[in-house]
Amino acid sequence: MEWSLALLLLLGLMLVLMLLSVPVAFAFLGVNIVGAWIFLGGEVGLVQLVRNSMTSITTFTLAPIPLFLLMGEILFHSGIAYKSVDAIDRLISRVPGRLSVVAVAGGTVFSSLSGSTIANTAVLGSTLLPDMLKRGYAPSIAMGPIMATGSIAMLIPPSALAVLLGSLSGISIAQLLLAGIIPGIMMSILFITYIVGRCYFQPHLAPADEEQEKLSWKERIVPIFVYVVPLFAIFLVVVGSIFSGWATPTESAALGSMASILAALGYRNLTLKILITSLMETAKVSAMILFIIVASMSFSQILTFSGGTTGLLSVFGQFEMTPVILVIGMICILLVLGAFMDQVSMMLVSLPFFMPLALANDINTLWLGVLMLIVMEMSFTTPPFGLLLYVMRGVAPPHISMRQIYSAALPFIGLSTIVLVVLMVFPEIITWLPAALRN
């Protein structure tokens, strides 16, 4: 079979299944079964498909995913995350849009302790949003920072999706985790600058908080040292062990999980029920991710055997596109996919094509990986199907409409686009930290 027909068959079947509302992972499984039968040799191909599936998930590099998820689940269900956000709330004062700034600062701190974007948004939304709306904050300036900062968890380690991207693409997981730190901090700073500037010139969006001014310095500082500073030990355990080379990402994730359990015990917030709930939620998400990994790896192998990957590479080679134009094309494709797909599905669809193209054109895959993470971070809040838009719908009061949630997200999508462009023009911002620590 010609490679073009093979590619049309595989992608066409996948599209039909997705249009029939078949979950993406199951759609890929169906395509893989058909592809294995046709291109891998009938029954022999199906046996090989099973073997390949087992091989794809029995790898040590995937172990950080459930461990990073467990860290976030324990901090979330034990209530420690809520207390750390409240401590940051007490510290920040006399700033235009104070609670929105607290959302960004608290979200960034929690991002360094949790690999879960959904948990990040749920904590901030349930903790800060009711109070912000009660104090008269405009919905746009109340919900936008919470959603935007929630997705920063994808960049700042520990990040389960960064580990997944590294596993599927072959990019060094340790370097990918380190490379996301500076872009994540850049986004936080830009978000805070935008909030302060907009609320300064439009003070009606965020009324001043008079009660906060009455707090003494002791009431502001003590909670930071009690609930925030000790939690940075978890971040130092995870990132510091990778920085120093003392531990692999898997080992650092295990250390981080143990540190979060010890922190919950130290605050006397860990019960058997909370531990079981955290383990169950971790198991649910981990099982889903592992199933998706099986589908993705098998799909990539079938594409290769069918000749689709090689044929597509030869077509792109005829256009003689520069690496920069090729990366811009990849980013544009991801932006379109992000409006309709979740992040894991975006990886499933794009990586089998993007990574061979990047390697064939000598594109720095670490740089490309971080750019992909940022685009996927943007897609969390991209209408109409951004996941965090619906998480926000779940925690927002009933009178808040989806249209208001969409409009709250749009300015922060624009700010993320600015960061994306800067990183494309200056790739050294991404590659500097991993290179410096490697040397």
H/E stretch holding 354 reads: helix 343-360
What pLDDT digit, counting tens, does each position of 109-148 carry?
777 666 566 666 776 777 778 888 888 899 889 999 988 8
If we measure between CA atoms, which residue out of 66, 82, 157 comes closest to residue 112?
157
Q: Is the pLDDT reported for residue 435 higher than 60? A: yes
Q: Where are the beta strands (DSSP E) in 286-326?
A: none
Query: What average pLDDT does the segment 206-222 reach?
Result: 71
Question: What's the pLDDT score for residue 1?
Answer: 65
What pLDDT digit, counting tens, does each position of 223-234 carry?
888 888 877 788
Q: Which DSSP string corresponds to 302-314?
A: HHHHHTHHHHHHH
Give the 3-state secondary structure of residue 30.
Answer: helix
Q: Is the pLDDT reported for residue 212 higher than 60? A: no
225-241 burial string, b = 16+ CB within 10 Å, else e? eebbeebeebbebbbeb
Spatial separation of the C-alpha atoms in residues 348 and 15, rounded to whole Å: 13
Question: What's the pLDDT score for residue 135?
Answer: 82
Q: Residue 219 — pLDDT band, cuts 50, 70, 90? A: confident
Task: Provide, rounded to the nearest whole percent, the portion of the chain with pLDDT above 70.
Answer: 87
Spatial separation of the C-alpha atoms in residues 366 and 423, rounded to whole Å: 12
Tokens of 273: 């029920």
Spatial separation of the C-alpha atoms in residues 25 and 80, rounded to whole Å: 34
- One-letter identity of residue 252: S
Spatial separation of the C-alpha atoms in residues 44 and 278, rounded to whole Å: 41
Query: What average pLDDT does the segment 272-284 reach?
Result: 88
Question: What's the pLDDT score for residue 296?
Answer: 67
Specify the residue for token string 């009711």: 130
78: Cβ contacts below 8 Å, ≥ 6 apart: 264, 267, 269, 270, 274, 278
Spatial separation of the C-alpha atoms in residues 208 and 50, rounded to whole Å: 61
Number of H helices and number of E strands within the chain?
A: 24, 0
Q: Residue 174 — pLDDT band, cuts 50, 70, 90? A: confident
Question: What's the pLDDT score for residue 423?
Answer: 94
Spatial separation of the C-alpha atoms in residues 77 and 281, rounded to whole Å: 10
Question: For the whole model, what pTM was predicted?
Answer: 0.76
At CA 296, angle to CA 280 and CA 177, rounded to 5?
65
Distance of CA 5 to the CA centre of its chain: 35
Give the 3-state secondary structure of residue 180.
Answer: coil
Q: Is the pLDDT reported for residue 369 higher than 90? A: yes
Query: What average pLDDT does the segment 313-319 reach?
Result: 66
Rounded-to-10 torsion of CA 322, 323, 326, 331:
-140
Q: Is the pLDDT reported for residue 366 higher than 90? A: yes
Task: Provide, rounded to the nearest whole percent, the portion of the chain with pLDDT above 90.
Answer: 13
If we measure between CA atoms, which residue out of 92, 434, 381 comes closest to residue 239?
434
Lowest mean per-residue pLDDT among 23-32, 135-144, 322-331, 394-403: 23-32
Query: What average pLDDT does the segment 277-292 reach?
Result: 80
Q: Residue 192 — pLDDT band, cuts 50, 70, 90? A: very high
Spatial separation of the C-alpha atoms in residues 257 and 69, rounded to whole Å: 9
322: Cβ contacts below 8 Å, ≥ 6 apart: none
End-to-end Cα separation, the chain, in angstroms: 48
Phi, psi of 58 (to 5 degrees): -90, 60
Lowest mean per-residue pLDDT among 69-73, 252-256, 311-315, 378-382: 311-315
Spatial separation of the C-alpha atoms in residues 167 and 39, rounded to whole Å: 25
Q: Is the pLDDT reported for residue 63 higher than 60? A: yes
| Average pLDDT, rounded, for the chain | 81
Q: Residue 371 — pLDDT band, cuts 50, 70, 90? A: very high
Tokens of 375: 């685009």
Surface-to-core class of residue 196, CB atoms within 10 Å of its CB (0-12 exposed, 13-18 middle, 19+ buried): middle
Spatial separation of the C-alpha atoms in residues 407 and 379, rounded to whole Å: 15
CB 69 within 8 A of CB 115: yes
Q: Is the pLDDT reported for residue 342 higher than 70? A: no
Query: What average pLDDT does the segment 380-387 reach?
Result: 75
Query: What average pLDDT does the segment 16-23 reach?
Result: 76
If we measure between CA atoms, which residue out of 89, 130, 188 comes closest to residue 415?
188
Tokens of 220: 């502001």
Q: Is the pLDDT reported for residue 254 higher than 70? A: yes
Query: What average pLDDT does the segment 24-34 reach?
Result: 79
145: Cβ contacts below 8 Å, ≥ 6 apart: 100, 101, 103, 104, 107, 191, 195, 412
Helices (H), 239-342: 241-244, 249-266, 272-306, 308-319, 323-338
- Do you know the residue count of the chain? 439
Q: Residue 420 — pLDDT band, cuts 50, 70, 90? A: very high
Question: What's the pLDDT score for residue 412?
Answer: 92
Q: Which residue has the higher pLDDT, 235 or 438?
A: 235
Q: Residue 385 — pLDDT band, cuts 50, 70, 90? A: low
- One-letter identity of residue 45: G
CB 121 within 8 A of CB 392: yes
